[in-house]
Amino acid sequence: MTGELSPIDKAKFVAAKRASDFVEDGMRVGLGTGSTAAWLVRCLGERVRDNGLKIRGVPTSTRTAELAREVGIEVISLDEARWLDLTIDGADEFDADLALIKGGGGALLQEKIVATASDQMIVIADAAKEVEHLGAFPLPIEVIPFGWQTTQALVEETLVSMDVMGRQATLRMNGEAPFVTDEGNHILDLHLGRIGNARQLAMVMNQIPGVVENGLFIDICDKVVIGFGDGRVETRDINEGTVSEDRLDFVETDNLFSDI
């Protein structure tokens, strides 16, 4: 129940709830991965159940696909959808230009493919995700398992000429074994501290053999919906140059959120 949530979870919930209002009947919707995106899936599931909303969702991970089916959303593949009306996803960091770091949940490859196959991308986040400069959150890059240590060395060598503060790359682990993405790849987390030129870094990283994709999302996000622990929600539209604010009230009631 929403009244039992921590302030950070309330912020995530109100951002997701507000963003769900942008979803209309008949839409093909990209469904993101992560804790904030999970709130969105549940909000949409509630509308499907209670209001008869008819949408088709394209999930960006097996975790999201399982949750979407659980709450009653019709799940299809991106190949079946071909193109999407809207993708809503979370972010690990975003700046004033709505450039993002994503991939903390390990689904950056599918997330970027789905987001770029959409008419519009909306990011939902709590206020703590906004930064002046990207890079405090480690930048994930997805690499193929073959020769990953060589790829890591090439990445660290390349970072010497980039406008970043740090150059350490670490293999993401899942317990004592390397983390494995839905595509069977590994994740290298780049501890950069601060990224001076995100656009340049994104292009250069993707030129390194073994790198599949990086977690910098540049010129992809159209809107960001920012939630606050007191129920306030701020929506920024980078294309329209507008900022709007409203507030969502919390109601103690049994619903799709009662098991969170």
The answer to whether position 259 is within a domain reads no
Strand stretches in the chain, DSSP E: 28-31, 56-59, 74-75, 86-89, 93-94, 100-101, 121-126, 139-143, 168-171, 173-174, 177-178, 186-191, 211-214, 216-217, 223-227, 232-237, 242-247
Is 85 annotated to bind ligand? no
Q: 33 labelled as ligand-binding? A: yes
14 in the same domain as 120? yes
CATH number at residue 85: 3.40.50.1360
Position 185 scores a pLDDT of 98
Is 119 part of any known ligand binding site? no
- The CB density around residue 243, as the number of other CB atoms within 10 Å, is 10
User: Same domain, yes or no, for 120 and 225?
Assistant: yes
Question: Catalytic residue numbers?
Answer: 111
User: 215 versus 258: which is more confidently predicted?
Assistant: 215
Please name the amino acid found at residue 140: P
Q: Which of 188, 217, 216, 183 is nearest to 62 (CA)?
A: 183
Q: Three-state SS for 225?
A: strand
What pLDDT sits at residue 160?
Answer: 97
pLDDT band, very low/low/confident/very high, at 252 (cuts 50, 70, 90) = very low
DSSP 199: H
> Which SS3 state, helix, strand or coil, does residue 90 take?
coil
How high does pLDDT run on average in the chain? 95
pLDDT at residue 94 is higher than 50: yes
Q: How confident is the model at residue 254 (pLDDT cuts 50, 70, 90)?
A: very low
State which residues form the domain around 183.
139-213
User: Is 92 labelled a binding residue?
Assistant: yes
Tens-digit pLDDT profile for residues 198-226 = 999 999 999 999 999 999 999 999 999 99
Between 49 and 256, residue with greater pLDDT: 49
Whether residue 43 is contained in a domain is answered as yes
The number of domains in the chain is: 2
206 and 223 fall within a common domain: no
Residues 6+ apart with CB under 8 A from 62: 182
Q: At 189, which CATH number?
A: 3.30.70.260
